Structure formats: C-alpha cells, structure tokens
Amino acid sequence: MLDVRRVRTEPDALKAGLARKGVAGEEVDQLAELDRRRRELSEQRDDLRARVKTLSKEVGGLRRAGEVEQAEALMAESRDLGAREKAVSADADVVAGELRELLLRIPNVPAAEAPDGAGEADNVVVRVEGFDPDAYGEHQRVPHWDVGAALGILDLGRGAKISGSMFPLYRGAGARLVRALTSWALDRHADAFEEIRPPSLVRTDAMVAAGQLPKFADDAYHLERDDLWAIPTAEVPLTSLASGEILAEADLPVRLTAATPCFRREAGAAGRDTRGLLRVHEFDKVEILAYATPEQAPAVHADLLARAESLLAELGLAYRVLDICTGDLGQSHARQFDLEVYAPGCDLWLEVSSVSWFTDYQARRADIRYRRAGDGGVEHVHTLNGSALAWPRIWAALVETGRRPDGTVVLPEVLAPWLGDTTVG
C-alpha cells in the first residue's frame, strides 16, 4: 500500500502519479481526510487516557489524605472521561479501518519511466528477437491443440471430464515436457536464487500482502471452510516469506525461486483465447523473486528480465519485450515488462512472463523491512518478481514451432538432459 505520509507531504505529486493510472484526485482527498480524522481522534483518545491516568493518581493521594469527598468527585469525573475515551477510541478504530480499506484499494504509483497510456494497445514494444514471419512452414501453422491430440500428448477432453473446461491434461511426452521445463529452469536459477517449495494454499493475509486481495477476489479460488486460498502464483507465498520481519541490509538482495502450480479463474473472451492452452485455470510456473533496497532495485529488475529472456533465447523461441504502460499496469506495479513468445500455429503473440517492480507497495502490506547498515534506520524493502517461466504457452509455442512435416515434434537440445536425452517426439 502507499505510505499515507505522502498524502500530507506531497499531495499534488501523489495525485499526479495516480492520475497516470486513472485514479481520480478525489480519492487522494478522501485519503487525506480520513488520515486527518484518524490522527485527530487518536490525539483525543491519548489526551483522555492521560487525563484518566492523572486523575487516578490524584484520587489515590486524596484517599490517603482522608479527603474522601474530593476523591469521589474525581472518581466520577474519571469515569466520565473513561466513557468518553472508549467512545473516541471506537471512532478512531472505525476511521482507521476505513483508511486501511481505502489504502488497500488505491494502486501503486507508476514509476516515472513507465510509458503513459490508457490500456493494452498503448504498451510499447521495446524489441523483437528471432522473429521472421516468412520463416515458418505450413507444417508449423498447426495449432498446438491439434498437434497435441494427434500425438496423444495433450488430452483436453479428459481434463474437462475430470475438472471442467480450461483444466488441461498432459500425457506421456507432453507431461514429461512440463516436468523437464520446470527442472531446467530451476537449475538455471540455482546460481543466485534459493529454491523454495512453498505451500500451495495460503492465508488471506498473504493474498492481501501481494495485492491479490481485495481487488482480485473474484479471480481466485477460495476454500471457505478453512479460509485458505489456492495460490494464483508463487509470488504470493514468496512475498510473505519475510512478513513482519526486519532484515539486515547486508543480506539484501534476497533472491528466491519456486516451482508451483498456479490457480486462476481466468475468464477470457469466448472462443479464440480460450482454445487449448491459451488460457487455463491451473498451470505450472517457475517464479523468481527478490527483496532489495531501493538503490539495488533497478539492477535487480534488469537481472530478472535478463534471466527470463535468456530462457526464451535458449529455447530458440521468437519473442518480444513490452514496456507496460500506466493504464495497463497492475494494482501493485510501479514498472513492468512483459515477454511474449510467438506461436506460429495460433499466429499469436502469447504472454509468458511479467517482470515487475513494486517499490515498497507490497512490503508495506506485508510489513517487510530492513535495517540500514549506516545509521541503523529501518525502512521497507522493495519487492520484485518475474515468471521464468509459465509453461502452458511455452509448451504451445514449442510444440507448434518444433513441428516437422511428418507431424512429429523436435524440441530444443537444452532440454535433452531432462527428457531422457531425446528431443524428438
């Protein structure tokens, strides 16, 4: 969430920044009023508590001096003040709750470098790598759901029979490909990232900390009986790994990676973008995430992006890098780059990674701080993460790109050690 102190110290700058995400200035004014009212009530409550404490001491002194009548009068005054203090305290709690709810709804301020724009159409293509539209043969222009069905490696019908539509079922070499991609990617990050296997179900606080709640409640799977949420991404448990903790600056940046299933109530448009693996409710993904100081964050963000890109380059897939505009940035995001691969069978660019910098927005929600080495001051870390990578669309692009005229599929050589030293299926 935002630092509410900015409402007091730089309201105009805050309004200008949030306006780039389409947030009306009235919401900032509402935030300022709630903050003013909360501080006013807190001051009244503290004054009343101090007066009650003083009166209690005076009553004790009067009783010891035998001044019973005066002591009783002060006791009556103390009771009245105590009742007022409880009422003011209750009002303060209500206003504090309203302030927190508004803070949870207001998005992060976009970075100055993020391009302005109203929505997806305004995202900036930074560069395109390895793409030649004339280099693909007719045998590669077959969609992955047809290739997978013909080879018996993707069984969407039985997946739907078991769990409903948009729950894919991989078979044989198709299942091995997902496993191989996961192991390969985790090994690629092992040089600098600690591997974590977090729980796939988390408490509400973890979803709130990552910015998934309250905004995206309708997109998540909630187990009401236990009040647990199926994670939409490993970002959620990894972000909360250090919640409530104060880290040492010398230990930053902290780099973590995890392979987990991800669960999302993806809506999508009927037809085109819900075919095959284009949009699914459950998928496997390898996540990379970091806690950093504000000074370290730009370099960490660049490293996360470079790692995700290097995986696409090793797989030999055509891809492009998008700088996400302010109107398309997520709730928690200050800066974001997306990676999209080209799938020749679908003739679509498919998003396979978002590499994001959240400044201290998530860390305030999760209360993750660090102690500066120089002056010992404490402040919130910056959080950053990226998909490296999400597998359904990678699977689709590999199967379509690698399809040969005889209908078999050749996979990238880098995966051979995890595929039994064979890349042909």
3-class DSSP string for the chain: CCCCHHHHHCHHHHHHHHHCCCCCHHHHHHHHHHHHHHHHHHHHHHHHHHHHHHHHHHHHHHHHCCCHHHHHHHHHHHHHHHHHHHHHHHHHHHHHHHHHHHHHHCCCCCCCCCCCCCCHHHCEEEEEECCCHHHCCHHHCCCHHHHHHHHCCECHHHHHHHHCCCCCCECCHHHHHHHHHHHHHHHHHCCCCEEECCCCEEEHHHHHHCCCCCCCHHHCEEECCCCEEECCCCHHHHHHHHCCCEEEHHHCCEEEEEEEEEECCCCCCCCHHHCCCCCCCEEEEEEEEEEECCCCHHHHHHHHHHHHHHHHHHHCCCEEEEECCHHHCCCCCCEEEEEEEEECCCCEEEEEEEEEECCCHHHHHHCCEEECCCCCCEEECEEEEEEEEEHHHHHHHHHHHCECCCCCEECCHHHHHHCCCCCEC
**Residue 49 among the catalytic residues:** no
Spatial contact of 202 and 238, defined as CB atoms under 8 Å apart: no
**Residue 163 among the catalytic residues:** no
Q: How many angstroms separate the CA atoms of 143 and 156, rounded?
A: 14
What are the distances in angstroms from CA 321 to CA 48, 123, 181, 313, 401?
Answer: 59, 10, 21, 12, 19
Residue of 264, 307, 335, 369 with catalytic role: 264
**Residue 141 among the catalytic residues:** no
Spatial contact of 423 and 401, defined as CB atoms under 8 Å apart: no
Residue of 354, 356, 364, 365 with catalytic role: 354
**Residue 393 among the catalytic residues:** yes
Residue of 27, 67, 351, 379 with catalytic role: 351
Residue of 20, 38, 255, 393 with catalytic role: 393
**Residue 351 among the catalytic residues:** yes
Q: Are strands 369-371 and 246-248 parallel, antiparallel or unpaired?
A: parallel
Query: Hey, which residues are catalytic here?
Result: 264, 279, 351, 354, 393
